[in-house]
Amino acid sequence: MAKYKLHNLNRSRMENIFHRLFGSVQLDLTIEDRFGRPVKPREWFVVPQQVIGEAVERIRDGSITQFVYDARTAGLARIG
């Protein structure tokens, strides 16, 4: 587990960035909520911790738009 502080960022935009980057490795899981209803979490991704740290740094410096997540190498790869 890690905590990151990001300032002056739109939360919705940041969430969209993470979904764009890691959507292909979203955890496929259904669990029951406290009422027994099935819930499929959409915020959980299977990504190495260091890649999340790198993504946060690239969000901070603005270079994240130049990268995609490569599941074969389990890392960020520059587009083009």
pLDDT digits (tens, 9 = 90+) for 22-35: 999 999 999 999 99
User: Is residue 40 over pLDDT 90?
Assistant: yes
Report whether pLDDT(6) > 90: no
CB–CB of 69/76 below 8 Å?
yes
The answer to whether the predicted template modeling score (pTM) of the entire model surpasses 0.75 is: yes
